[in-house]
Amino acid sequence: MDALKTKRKSLRTSFTATANKLKECLAKKEDAKDGDKLRALNSQLEDKFLRLDEIQNKISSLLLKNTDTAAEYETDFQVAEDYRDNFLELKSKLETLLNKDSGSFLESSSELDVVKLNLPKFELKMFSGDPKEFLTFWSIFSKIHDSEELTAIDKFQYLYQSMVPDSRAARLISSFPITTENYPKAVEQLKLRFGREDLLVQIYVRDLLSLVLKNATTGKNAPDLATLYDMLETKLRALKSLGRTKEKFADFLEPLVESCMPENVLRAWERSRISESTEDATSQRSLEKLMCFLRHKVESEEMICLAREGFGKDRESGAIRKDCQKSVHKDEPTAATLISSTTGAKLNCIFCDRPHLSQDCQRLSDMSYEDRKSQVIRKRCCLVCLKVGHLAKRCHSSVRCLICKRRHYPLLCPDLRKEKESNFSSKDRTADNEQRSTETLLTNLPSEHEIYLKTIMIRLRNRDKEVCVRALLDDGSQRSYIERNLAAELFLSPSGREIFSQGLFGGGISPASEHKRYMENVESLNRKYSTPLSLLEQQKICSTLPRIHDRKLLSELASRGIKLTDVGRDSPPIRVLLGADILGSILTGRIEVLSSGVSAVETLLGWTILGLGKKKEVVNLVTLSLQNMDVPKMWDLEVLGITDPIEKINESLLEEETLTHFKETIRICEDQRYEVALPWLAGHPALYDKYDAAESRLRTATKRLINENYFEAYNNVFKQWEAEGIIEAIPINQLAKEVHYLPHRPVIKPSSNTTKVRPVFDASFKKPGFASLNECLSVGPSLTHKILPLLLRFRSGAIGVIADVKQAFLQIRLRTEDRDVLRFLWWENTGCSEIRIYRHCRVVFGVSSSPFLLNATISYHLEREKFQTESLRKTIGHLKEGFYVDNLVTSVNDATELEQLKSQSIEIMKEGAFELRCWASNDSKEDQDKQMVLGLSWDVVSDELSCKLPANTITQAPNMHPRKACYKKGIAICDQQCIRSDWLYGSSFIVTKIAYARSLERKNRLGRGVACKT
């Protein structure tokens, strides 16, 4: 430490000497104006202070380590701070003086300019990801990029703001977190993606080629010369900035530019080049001189237009002349161009005096042959070519009639009159034949079997928009087609047009029509295969084709590992037809013949089936009319359990498969919580992600929450869930095999003591043509048959006991593979400016399979070996028979048994992360409130069950017959509780009889006493 103090002493002496020199210079006016001397002293002073500060830090560290030198450290620290204050004071004075001098010079030299100039606000050019715009964008942004005053973070922020939102460039830049290290990486990737020199050269050269095809091909609408010159200059300047100068690459650029020029301008250029007398004629063919010639040509055209403008010219005639010039370039069929050989003359029809050829007149259907011939003679026209100026015998036209092969047009053919008369005579016979054939076609009976065609679900994507549609694989069609409305929905841009006729079934040919052609990527649902395909536009592909919904067929396919994509009971329209032009390349050659004779065909887009299906079911409707009907007969078959045996077998097999799948996939986690899998149906249809629907419902729910002041409470529910691990946030760029978003809405209960608002998720929402999540899941065995046995056991003991499980569904964990189909959207912050994607980690209330999963999990928990002891045997029996979803309903004989049931049940359920709460029984006299037991009201004091029905059940329908109203009143109790029992139905029937008998005494009006008895 002594050595450090000696060194510090020397530096302090040197620092003080330099500081005194600087103070003397600042005090003298002459030295204060010497900027170079002041800067030199400032540099010396900074160097000495930095070295002094470094040694001071070392000494302070050593003093702090020794606890006995606290007073010395304080004194030393004060002296060091004095040196620091002296340095900062001198530095501030010096900087103020130097800035003042430079500012006065700038102010004196540019004062007038500041007053005169008022420049507009500078705005950064936005970049969308188009490589053509990269040169302009980077030339402007490079000023920010090369600035040494801005930090990398600031440059990155400017770069991010310069991107067009939701563009390719914006997605590329947003993939990098905004940090100092990532800025050069983002710039490098931006240049590699959009600013590669070889890519830009290819783009501009291809633009020149497109100008060649557009302007040098007959029939295209070429731009005017000034526009053409500007386009050429733009592309040549861009190539020059990329190093492809006119001098080095004129050999291939000059022919391209010449091909872009109109024919008359090209002829003028050749005459101008040849007319110049030089020794070397080839030297005149240069790109520079060609562009100079075009510039002079454009200037000359502008001067001519300026000279002719406003000197009494008829504007209307000028407009007509322009239209005539434009019409020269109009696309016309080749045959029509050959026929109209005369130019400039006005051609009017001799029959209707309209501007078209006489032989093409459409108004001759009302004129007879004699009238047509008389009109031609009256106009003094030729009977052969229908033109003025010569007679038929001197006509040199090669016109031939299509009917009689003689020299005249068909409209003047004498044989045409005879043919019409014969056609009129056979018209009635033809109509009769057509009517009979139509009737025969309409009376064809449908096939007794379902016939499956090769349909499949595919994905079509255009930029950011993606749809899943049904497609028909038809090798009888030569081309592939897309529905016109679908092309409009995807905002597809046509790559061309084709005109052709279509051969129909039976040998018919449709009229020739124009079809737009699109280039689109066809992708499989699992995104494993994608191929570009040329699709022709069609108004409608075909009529409705049913989907496959035969469970037996789907089960057999699933057993062979085949999963169809086009299944379900609804029948969305066919919107794409894949013809022979693509089928040969997507068929894998694998074919599976099923037991029913149907063939499953594999393609790269997925599996499809073809063949004769099962026989269609025939339903016979029998109507029975009786004067007297015994009402209980209406439910006798249902009470006896007589149902369709086939339907019952199928349901039993499905329930057995669901239970087997549950037992194979359930597992116990480290925290003793159970983890289950969703029970997917075999061969379930494809899921639509529903992101757009979830976002729309999110915004609607947000508006309601804000209007009713429940947004903060709703947001806190999700925060609490995330903290407890019930939900989790996922990155936006995380991919998943199958993704599905659940819409949700708030349920508001202001009277609730615990949660006044809670989210409810809608798993039944579906888009037309796609299945909902609930339709893809098995609901498991029905639980409604447990209600009546539960109520009977509840009344069997002396003490009735009820309880429920706290947040039962949220205590069961969901396996990771199934969580992506339970995604939902919520806001990143309370400002509702950015959407965040979450997914459920626990079983969701609102999904059809959740009650089964909860019931099966509790049953599995109670079957564990650790609970199969003699001391717990009775409690386990109560729990097994007493649970309905999350409610425990049972009874005991005395208070001792009740206490044992409570204590043991709580411990048993706690082992599975379940909490039993809200215990209630009629043993305690303190519980005076009424409780709800499976929808029935339980009076704990009187130990009575009752069902509350609306008092105006009958009065709501004044026009209803009293007997019918009483019957509805009596049966409402049973229907409300889903109880199917003949004695309850009988009691409701007795009540109905009594009410009806009393109502007859009051002139078909029900009295208040009878209504109370019901």
In the Cβ-directed half-sphere of 914, how many Cα atoms lie within 13 Å? Answer: 26
577, two tokens: 């037809």
Cβ atoms 162, 154 nearer than 8 A: no
925, two tokens: 């006299």
Cβ atoms 773, 689 nearer than 8 A: no
Domains, the chain, ranges and CATH? 1-98 (1.20.58), 131-195 (no CATH), 196-270 (no CATH), 362-412 (no CATH), 451-613 (2.40.70.10), 650-921 (3.10.10.10)
What is the reported pLDDT for 616? 52
Cβ atoms 858, 748 nearer than 8 A: no
Cβ atoms 529, 523 nearer than 8 A: yes
Question: Nearest 5 degrees, angle CA 396-CA 397-CA 400?
Answer: 130
Instruction: Give residue 471's Cα distance to chain centre.
Output: 19
**Non-local CB neighbours of 486 within 8 Å, separated by 6+ positions:** 460, 467, 469, 575, 576
What is the reported pLDDT for 963? 55
**Non-local CB neighbours of 940 within 8 Å, separated by 6+ positions:** 920, 921, 922, 927, 928, 929, 930, 931
Cβ atoms 694, 762 nearer than 8 A: no
CB-based burial, 222-239: b 16+ in 10 Å, e otherwise: beebbebbebbeebbebb
pTM here is: 0.43
Cβ atoms 419, 403 nearer than 8 A: yes
Q: Please count the residues of the chain.
A: 1014
Collapsing DSSP states into helix, strand and coil, what is residue 947? coil
How many helices (H) and strands (E) the chain has is answered by: 31, 26
Residue type for position 74: E
Residue 836 DSSP one-character state:
E
What is the reported pLDDT for 284? 47
Q: How far apart are CA 906 and CA 879, in angstroms?
A: 11
Q: How far apart are CA 720 and CA 581, in angstroms?
A: 56
Q: How far apart are CA 32 and CA 107, in angstroms?
A: 20
**Which residues pair with residue 451 across a beta bridge?**
612
Could you list the mean pLDDT of each consecutive 10-residue stretch along the chain, which spans 1014 residues? 81 85 76 72 83 83 74 80 84 75 44 46 74 81 84 85 85 85 87 79 73 56 68 74 63 68 73 58 59 77 69 44 40 35 56 82 76 85 87 84 82 68 45 37 45 87 82 88 88 84 71 84 86 88 81 84 83 88 87 86 90 60 49 48 48 79 90 90 75 88 91 92 91 68 90 80 81 87 83 88 91 91 89 88 91 92 80 86 91 90 91 89 69 84 75 52 58 52 46 48 38 34
Give the Å distances, CA to CA, from 779 to 499, 740, 848, 928. Answer: 54, 19, 6, 38
638, two tokens: 């249902």
Q: How far apart are CA 190 and CA 756, in angstroms?
A: 51
Alpha-helical (H) ranges within 448-497 are 484-489
Cβ atoms 59, 8 nearer than 8 A: yes
Question: Nearest 5 degrees, angle CA 865-CA 867-CA 870?
Answer: 110
What is the reported pLDDT for 216? 54
Q: How far apart are CA 915 and CA 910, in angstroms?
A: 6
In terms of Cβ atoms closer than 10 Å to its own Cβ (0-12, 13-18, 19+), residue 969 is buried
Residue 492 DSSP one-character state:
P
Cβ atoms 628, 471 nearer than 8 A: no
- Among residues 839, 837, 833, the alpha carbon closest in space to that of 732 is found at 837
In the Cβ-directed half-sphere of 112, how many Cα atoms lie within 13 Å? Answer: 1
Q: How far apart are CA 769 and CA 439, in angstroms?
A: 34
First to last CA, the chain: 104
Cβ atoms 382, 407 nearer than 8 A: no
Q: Which residue has the tokens 């006489």?
A: 358
Task: Give the count of beta carbons closer than 10 Å to the beta carbon of residue 244.
Answer: 19
Q: Which residue has the tokens 């490589």?
A: 131
CB-based burial, 124-156: b 16+ in 10 Å, e otherwise: eeebebeeebbeebbeebeeeeeeeeeeeeebb
Give the Å distances, CA to CA, from 337 to 357, 705, 830. Answer: 13, 69, 69
Cβ atoms 565, 770 nearer than 8 A: no
Q: CB pairs under 8 A, 24+ apart, for 764-772?
A: 764/848, 765/690, 765/693, 766/688, 767/688, 767/690, 767/693, 768/570, 768/572, 769/468, 769/469, 769/470, 769/570, 769/572, 770/468, 770/685, 770/686, 770/687, 770/688, 771/568, 771/684, 771/685, 771/686, 771/687
